[in-house]
Amino acid sequence: MATIVVGVTGGVAAFKAPIVVRECQRAGHDVYVAATRASLDFVGRSTWEGITSRPVAVDIAGEGRAEHVELARVADLIIVVPATANSLARLAAGFADDMVSLTVLASDAPVVVAPAMHSNMWLAPATQANVQALRDRGFHVIEPASGALGSGDRGVGRLPEPEEIARVALGVLAARDQASNALAGRTVVVTAGGTREPVDPVRFLGNKSSGRQGLAIASAAARAGASVRVIAANIESALLATLPTAVQVTRVGSALQMREATIAQVADADALVMTAAVADFRPEAASESKIKKDLSNEEAPTIRLVRNPDILAEIGHSDQRPPLVVGFAAETGTDEEILAYGADKAARKGADFICLNRVGESVGFGDVPNDIRLLDARGNTAGRYVGSKDEVAAGLVGHMASFLDNLKR
C-alpha cells in the first residue's frame, strides 16, 4: 500500500477529483487530500473528510506543525487534479503560498498533473512553456481531452475522465516502485539519433530524429539499475549531457558506423533497443569535393543510391543476438495502415518487439509528446505508451524488465 496525496486546485473540474480519490482507494492505497482555499468553493471540506476519513489539508500551518512538510514526507505519489493555468504557472515558478504548491515543492515523490482549462488558456504560449518546464523537471503531465468545456465552448482543455487520470497515476507509481532495481545486473545497449549519409564534404542525406526518445530510454534503464551503453548518431552535445554520468556513449555518424559499433557492443548485452533512425540508403560514392552547380546545364546531378545494411534484422536473426531485441519503426498514416506496417516489420526483423512510433507535425520527432504501440514478434499489440518521452521510456523499460525476468523462470 502506498500513500497518495491528491492536490485539488480551484477549477470547475474539481468536482471530478473525488472519483480520482476513490479509484486510488479501490486500488488499495492510502489517500490524503491537500486543497487550495479556492477549490473549496467547488468541493467542500465535509466531502473530502467523508471520503478520506481524515481532515483535508488547507491551512499552510496548523496547530504547531507544518502540514505540507508532513504530507511531503509521507507521499509516495502526488496527483494535482484539476491543474488550472494559474496552478501550472505557480508550480513551474516554484511558488509556495498554498497547500498544494507547498506540498509539491517540499516532496521528492513523483508528481502527476492533470490540467483543465479553456482551450485558449491551454494553448497560450505561457501555459505551454510552463507545462514544458514541469516535464523537464520530471513531472508527468496528462494531456487534456477535447470536448465540452465549463464555459459552454468546445475544444481542448477538458479534464480527462477521472478513471483515466487514476490509471495513469497508478502506472507512474508502479513504475517508480520497479525503477530502483528492475534491471539491476543487466547490460542494455541503446541506439539513438539519426544517421547521416555523406553526399560530399558539406552535404548529407539525413532525417529529423533528435535522439530524445533513445536518451530517455537510456536514462530510464540506468535508473532501473542497468549498465547502459548509448550509440549516438548526430545528437547534440547538450542532449547527451543530460544522460546519467555512468552511461557509456559512443558517437557515430553514418549507418555503416552505426552497424559496426552496434555489433561490437551487443555481444555481451542483455538487451538492444534500436531507437535510432538509420538511413535505408546512402550515396554509392560520396564526392571528395563539394558538388558545384553547373551553370551551363539546367539538369541536376544524379546521385546513385545503394541500400544500407538492415542492422536490426541482421542482429535479430543472428545466433549471437541479445536475449531481448527491441526495434523502432517511425510511420505515418491511418491507424490501420500504421499497424499493418508494424506487423510486417515485426515479422521480418527478428526482433522480440517493435515499437511502432507514430510521427508527424506534433508527435514523434523532437521535443514533442510521443505515441508508441508495442507489437510482439507476431504483430500483436503488447502495450501502448503515450505522453512525454520520459513517460514513454518508463513504460517501455518496465516492460523490458518484466520480459527479461520471465526468461529466467
Distance in angstroms (rounded) separating the CA atoms of residues 68 and 59: 9
Q: Is 309 annotated among the ligand-binding residues?
A: yes
Distance in angstroms (rounded) separating the CA atoms of residues 302 and 97: 65
User: pLDDT for 205-250, tens place per residue?
Assistant: 988 889 999 999 999 899 888 999 999 999 999 889 888 888 999 9
Q: Please report, for residues 89, 152, 175, 320, the alpha-carbon distance to residue 134 in angstroms, rounded to integers and kept in the order given.
A: 10, 29, 19, 42
**Residues 68 and 30 sit within 8 Å (Cβ to Cβ):** no
Average pLDDT over residues 62-90: 81
Question: pLDDT value at position 174?
Answer: 77
Q: DSSP string of 288-319?
A: SSPPPP-TT--SPPP--EEEPP-HHHHHHTST
Q: Which residues of 318-345 are buried (b: 16+ CB within 10 A; e: fewer)?
A: eeebbebbbbbbbbeeeeeebbebbbeb
The answer to whether 181 is a known catalytic residue is no
Q: Is 408 annotated among the ligand-binding residues?
A: no
Is residue 306 very low, low, confident or very high in pLDDT (cuts 50, 70, 90)?
Answer: very high
User: Average pLDDT over the chain, rounded to whole?
Assistant: 88
CATH for 187-407, among 3.40.50.620, 2.40.10.10, 3.40.50.10300, 3.40.50.2300?
A: 3.40.50.10300
What backbone phi and psi angles, to 5 degrees, belong to 252?
-135, 170
**Residues 285 and 303 sit within 8 Å (Cβ to Cβ):** no
Distance in angstroms (rounded) separating the CA atoms of residues 404 and 409: 9
Residues found in the chain: 409
Strands 140-141, 111-115: pairing kind: parallel
Q: Is 136 annotated among the ligand-binding residues?
A: no
Question: pLDDT value at position 68?
Answer: 58
Give the whole-number percent of the chain exceeding pLDDT 90: 56
Average pLDDT over residues 27-48: 94
> Facing residues of 331 across strands?
358
Least confident of 209-213, 258-262, 350-354, 355-359: 355-359
**Residues 122 and 129 sit within 8 Å (Cβ to Cβ):** no
Is residue 8 very low, low, confident or very high in pLDDT (cuts 50, 70, 90)?
Answer: very high
* DSSP structure class, residue 159: P
Q: Is 183 annotated among the ligand-binding residues?
A: no
What's domain 3-180's architecture? 3-Layer(aba) Sandwich (3.40)
**Residues 372 and 393 sit within 8 Å (Cβ to Cβ):** no
Residue type (1 letter), 345: K
**Residues 379 and 346 sit within 8 Å (Cβ to Cβ):** yes
Q: Is 208 annotated among the ligand-binding residues?
A: no
Which of 168, 180, 122, 202 lies closest to 388 in space, CA to CA?
A: 168
Active-site residue among 86, 130, 181, 207? 207
Whether the model clears a pTM of 0.75, i.e. scores above it, the answer is no
Chain-centre distance for alpha carbon 165: 16
Average pLDDT over residues 111-121: 93
Q: Is 293 annotated among the ligand-binding residues?
A: no
Average pLDDT over residues 159-172: 90
Distance in angstroms (rounded) separating the CA atoms of residues 66 and 262: 53
Q: Is 310 annotated among the ligand-binding residues?
A: yes
Q: Is 369 annotated among the ligand-binding residues?
A: no
- Where does residue 212 rank: exposed (0-12), middle (13-18), buried (19+ CB within 10 A)? buried
Average pLDDT over residues 265-293: 91
Helix (H) or strand (E) holding 8: strand 3-8
Inform me whether the pLDDT recorded for 366 exceeds 50.
no
Least confident of 157-161, 359-363, 385-389: 359-363
- CATH 3.40.50.1950 residue ranges in the chain? 3-180
Average pLDDT over residues 118-138: 92
Q: Please report, for residues 196, 281, 291, 396, the alpha-carbon distance to residue 303 in angstroms, rounded to integers and kept in the order given.
A: 15, 11, 11, 39
- CATH 3.40.50.10300 residue ranges in the chain? 187-407
Q: Dump strand ranges (E) for 201-304.
A: 203-205, 227-233, 248-252, 271-274, 281-283
Inform me whether the pLDDT recorded for 398 exceeds 70.
yes
User: Locate cell 523462470: which residue?
Assistant: 409
Inform me whether the pLDDT recorded for 176 exceeds 80.
no
50: helix, strand or coil: helix
What backbone phi and psi angles, to 5 degrees, belong to 228?
-115, 135
Is residue 65 very low, low, confident or very high in pLDDT (cuts 50, 70, 90)?
Answer: very low
Strands 324-331, 271-274: pairing kind: parallel
C-alpha cell read off for 48: 473530502
Q: Is 301 annotated among the ligand-binding residues?
A: no
